Chain A
Protein backbone atom coordinates (compact mmCIF):
# COMPACT_ATOMS: atom_id res chain seq x y z
CA UNK A 1 0.00 0.00 0.00
CA UNK A 2 1.08 3.55 -0.64
CA UNK A 3 0.39 6.69 1.33
CA UNK A 4 1.25 10.38 1.36
CA UNK A 5 1.34 12.45 4.52
CA UNK A 6 1.29 16.21 4.50
CA UNK A 7 2.16 17.08 8.03
CA UNK A 8 0.77 20.61 8.08
CA UNK A 9 -2.84 21.26 7.16
CA UNK A 10 -2.36 25.04 7.33
CA UNK A 11 0.74 27.17 6.93
CA UNK A 12 0.49 30.94 7.42
CA UNK A 13 3.50 32.96 6.37
CA UNK A 14 4.27 36.62 5.79
CA UNK A 15 4.89 37.96 2.32
CA UNK A 16 8.52 37.70 1.12
CA UNK A 17 9.32 35.11 3.81
CA UNK A 18 10.55 31.63 2.87
CA UNK A 19 8.23 28.66 3.13
CA UNK A 20 8.51 24.89 3.27
CA UNK A 21 5.55 22.58 2.85
CA UNK A 22 6.31 19.11 4.09
CA UNK A 23 5.44 15.85 2.37
CA UNK A 24 6.39 12.34 3.45
CA UNK A 25 5.46 9.18 1.67
CA UNK A 26 5.36 5.45 2.15
CA UNK A 27 5.67 2.89 -0.61
CA UNK A 28 7.13 -0.56 -1.09
CA UNK A 29 8.00 0.18 -4.73
CA UNK A 30 9.72 3.00 -6.56
CA UNK A 31 7.55 6.03 -7.06
CA UNK A 32 7.25 9.26 -8.94
CA UNK A 33 6.29 12.32 -6.94
CA UNK A 34 4.27 15.42 -7.77
CA UNK A 35 3.15 18.68 -6.26
CA UNK A 36 -0.10 20.27 -7.40
CA UNK A 37 -1.49 23.70 -6.56
CA UNK A 38 -5.16 24.57 -6.30
CA UNK A 39 -6.33 28.18 -6.26
CA UNK A 40 -9.78 28.88 -4.78
CA UNK A 41 -12.63 27.35 -6.77
CA UNK A 42 -10.30 26.02 -9.45
CA UNK A 43 -8.94 22.68 -10.50
CA UNK A 44 -5.46 21.43 -9.63
CA UNK A 45 -2.43 22.52 -11.63
CA UNK A 46 0.84 20.65 -11.76
CA UNK A 47 3.54 22.61 -9.93
CA UNK A 48 6.45 20.22 -10.38
CA UNK A 49 7.34 16.55 -10.62
CA UNK A 50 10.14 14.18 -9.78
CA UNK A 51 10.54 11.28 -12.18
CA UNK A 52 14.27 10.59 -12.13
CA UNK A 53 17.65 12.29 -12.24
CA UNK A 54 18.50 15.28 -10.07
CA UNK A 55 16.78 15.12 -6.72
CA UNK A 56 16.22 18.87 -6.74
CA UNK A 57 13.42 19.76 -9.11
CA UNK A 58 12.27 23.19 -10.07
CA UNK A 59 8.70 24.05 -10.92
CA UNK A 60 6.58 26.98 -11.90
CA UNK A 61 6.21 30.19 -9.89
CA UNK A 62 9.64 29.86 -8.25
CA UNK A 63 8.87 26.68 -6.32
CA UNK A 64 11.28 23.80 -5.95
CA UNK A 65 11.23 20.45 -4.19
CA UNK A 66 13.85 17.97 -3.13
CA UNK A 67 13.41 14.22 -3.30
CA UNK A 68 15.02 12.50 -0.34
CA UNK A 69 14.80 8.74 -0.70
CA UNK A 70 16.35 7.90 2.66
CA UNK A 71 13.89 10.11 4.50
CA UNK A 72 11.02 9.31 2.08
CA UNK A 73 10.29 13.00 1.75
CA UNK A 74 9.50 15.45 -1.02
CA UNK A 75 9.27 18.85 0.64
CA UNK A 76 8.24 21.91 -1.35
CA UNK A 77 10.07 25.18 -0.87
CA UNK A 78 10.03 28.76 -2.03
CA UNK A 79 12.60 31.33 -0.86
CA UNK A 80 10.23 34.31 -0.96
CA UNK A 81 6.45 33.99 -1.20
CA UNK A 82 3.92 36.40 -2.66
CA UNK A 83 0.30 37.05 -1.79
CA UNK A 84 -0.62 35.29 -5.03
CA UNK A 85 0.89 32.04 -3.72
CA UNK A 86 -2.05 31.69 -1.33
CA UNK A 87 -3.58 28.38 -2.34
CA UNK A 88 -3.90 24.75 -1.34
CA UNK A 89 -0.98 22.49 -2.19
CA UNK A 90 -1.22 18.74 -2.70
CA UNK A 91 1.60 16.23 -2.73
CA UNK A 92 0.98 13.05 -4.72
CA UNK A 93 2.75 9.88 -5.77
CA UNK A 94 2.34 7.07 -8.24
CA UNK A 95 4.14 3.81 -8.74
CA UNK A 96 6.96 4.08 -11.27
CA UNK A 97 5.65 0.97 -12.96
CA UNK A 98 2.21 0.58 -14.40
CA UNK A 99 -0.29 2.40 -12.25
CA UNK A 100 -3.83 3.51 -12.66
CA UNK A 101 -4.14 6.26 -10.13
CA UNK A 102 -2.30 8.83 -8.08
CA UNK A 103 -2.27 8.78 -4.31
CA UNK A 104 -2.79 12.27 -2.88
CA UNK A 105 -1.96 13.78 0.47
CA UNK A 106 -4.62 15.63 2.40
CA UNK A 107 -3.38 19.04 1.29
CA UNK A 108 -1.73 22.06 2.91
CA UNK A 109 -3.40 25.44 2.85
CA UNK A 110 -0.72 28.10 2.38
CA UNK A 111 -1.87 31.57 3.38
CA UNK A 112 0.46 34.45 2.62
CA UNK A 113 -0.13 37.44 4.87
CA UNK A 114 0.71 41.05 3.95
Chain B
Protein backbone atom coordinates (compact mmCIF):
# COMPACT_ATOMS: atom_id res chain seq x y z
CA UNK B 1 0.00 0.00 0.00
CA UNK B 2 1.02 3.58 -0.52
CA UNK B 3 2.12 5.83 2.31
CA UNK B 4 3.25 9.43 2.52
CA UNK B 5 5.66 10.75 5.11
CA UNK B 6 6.31 14.31 6.13
CA UNK B 7 8.85 15.57 8.59
CA UNK B 8 9.36 17.20 10.91
CA UNK B 9 5.91 17.32 12.49
CA UNK B 10 6.60 20.65 14.17
CA UNK B 11 9.31 23.23 13.69
CA UNK B 12 10.14 26.53 15.35
CA UNK B 13 12.57 28.70 13.45
CA UNK B 14 13.86 32.26 13.85
CA UNK B 15 13.25 34.86 11.18
CA UNK B 16 16.00 34.80 8.57
CA UNK B 17 16.93 31.16 9.10
CA UNK B 18 16.78 28.55 6.31
CA UNK B 19 14.07 25.92 5.94
CA UNK B 20 13.90 22.42 4.58
CA UNK B 21 10.77 20.28 4.80
CA UNK B 22 10.81 16.83 3.33
CA UNK B 23 8.07 14.65 1.93
CA UNK B 24 8.44 11.11 0.63
CA UNK B 25 5.94 8.71 -0.87
CA UNK B 26 6.22 4.94 -0.74
CA UNK B 27 4.48 2.23 -2.71
CA UNK B 28 3.93 4.10 -5.96
CA UNK B 29 5.99 5.45 -8.83
CA UNK B 30 5.92 8.74 -10.71
CA UNK B 31 3.35 10.37 -8.45
CA UNK B 32 2.19 13.94 -8.84
CA UNK B 33 3.39 15.76 -5.74
CA UNK B 34 2.02 18.88 -4.09
CA UNK B 35 2.90 21.35 -1.35
CA UNK B 36 0.09 23.30 0.32
CA UNK B 37 0.09 25.84 3.10
CA UNK B 38 -2.66 26.59 5.59
CA UNK B 39 -2.37 29.92 7.32
CA UNK B 40 -4.75 30.53 10.20
CA UNK B 41 -8.29 30.93 8.88
CA UNK B 42 -7.22 31.02 5.24
CA UNK B 43 -7.93 27.54 3.89
CA UNK B 44 -5.59 25.61 1.63
CA UNK B 45 -3.16 27.42 -0.62
CA UNK B 46 -1.37 25.42 -3.31
CA UNK B 47 2.29 26.42 -3.33
CA UNK B 48 3.99 24.01 -5.74
CA UNK B 49 3.27 20.89 -7.69
CA UNK B 50 5.46 18.47 -9.59
CA UNK B 51 4.61 15.92 -12.26
CA UNK B 52 8.12 14.45 -12.45
CA UNK B 53 11.74 14.67 -11.32
CA UNK B 54 13.04 18.19 -11.69
CA UNK B 55 9.65 19.50 -12.89
CA UNK B 56 8.28 22.09 -10.51
CA UNK B 57 5.36 24.46 -11.05
CA UNK B 58 4.94 27.40 -8.71
CA UNK B 59 1.46 28.66 -8.05
CA UNK B 60 2.23 31.83 -6.14
CA UNK B 61 5.28 34.10 -5.92
CA UNK B 62 6.82 33.81 -2.50
CA UNK B 63 9.82 33.29 -0.33
CA UNK B 64 9.77 29.52 -0.81
CA UNK B 65 11.10 27.08 -3.38
CA UNK B 66 10.57 23.40 -4.06
CA UNK B 67 12.69 20.64 -5.51
CA UNK B 68 12.16 17.04 -6.55
CA UNK B 69 15.53 15.35 -6.55
CA UNK B 70 14.07 11.83 -6.70
CA UNK B 71 10.85 10.36 -8.05
CA UNK B 72 9.17 10.05 -4.66
CA UNK B 73 10.82 12.89 -2.77
CA UNK B 74 9.57 16.47 -2.63
CA UNK B 75 11.38 19.16 -0.66
CA UNK B 76 10.16 22.60 0.36
CA UNK B 77 12.89 25.13 1.10
CA UNK B 78 13.62 28.69 1.99
CA UNK B 79 16.91 30.55 2.27
CA UNK B 80 15.57 33.10 4.75
CA UNK B 81 12.29 32.63 6.58
CA UNK B 82 9.82 35.46 7.08
CA UNK B 83 7.25 35.79 9.84
CA UNK B 84 4.55 35.34 7.19
CA UNK B 85 5.90 31.87 6.38
CA UNK B 86 4.36 30.53 9.57
CA UNK B 87 1.62 28.01 8.96
CA UNK B 88 0.70 24.39 8.52
CA UNK B 89 2.40 22.81 5.50
CA UNK B 90 0.88 19.79 3.82
CA UNK B 91 2.37 17.49 1.25
CA UNK B 92 0.09 15.46 -0.99
CA UNK B 93 0.31 13.02 -3.87
CA UNK B 94 -1.87 11.73 -6.68
CA UNK B 95 -1.31 8.99 -9.19
CA UNK B 96 -1.31 10.43 -12.70
CA UNK B 97 -3.52 13.17 -14.09
CA UNK B 98 -6.84 11.37 -14.36
CA UNK B 99 -9.54 13.24 -12.51
CA UNK B 100 -10.56 9.94 -10.90
CA UNK B 101 -7.23 9.68 -9.12
CA UNK B 102 -7.57 10.32 -5.40
CA UNK B 103 -5.31 12.83 -3.69
CA UNK B 104 -3.74 11.72 -0.42
CA UNK B 105 -2.23 14.01 2.18
CA UNK B 106 0.61 13.73 4.64
CA UNK B 107 0.19 14.51 8.32
CA UNK B 108 1.56 18.04 7.93
CA UNK B 109 4.30 20.19 9.43
CA UNK B 110 3.46 23.01 11.83
CA UNK B 111 5.99 25.79 11.19
CA UNK B 112 6.29 28.71 13.58
CA UNK B 113 8.62 31.52 12.58
CA UNK B 114 9.54 33.75 15.51
Chain B residues with Cβ below 8 Å from A41 are: 88, 108, 110
- Chain A, Cβ-Cβ closest to B49: A101
Range class of the A interface residue count: 20 to 34
CA distance A11 to B84 in the complex (A): 28
A102 to B103, CA, bound (A): 8
Count residues on chain B whose CB falls below 8 Å from chain A CBs. Answer: 25
Q: Give residues of chain A (1-58) contacting chain B, Cβ–Cβ below 8 Å.
A: 31-32, 34, 36, 41-46, 49, 51
Quick one: which of B99, B102, B108, B110 has the most chain A CB within 10 A? B99
Which residue in chain A gives the minimum CB-CB distance to B34?
A: A101
The answer on a CB contact under 8 Å between B44 and A107 is yes
Known A100-B49, A101-B49; judge A107-B43 contact (CB<8 A): yes
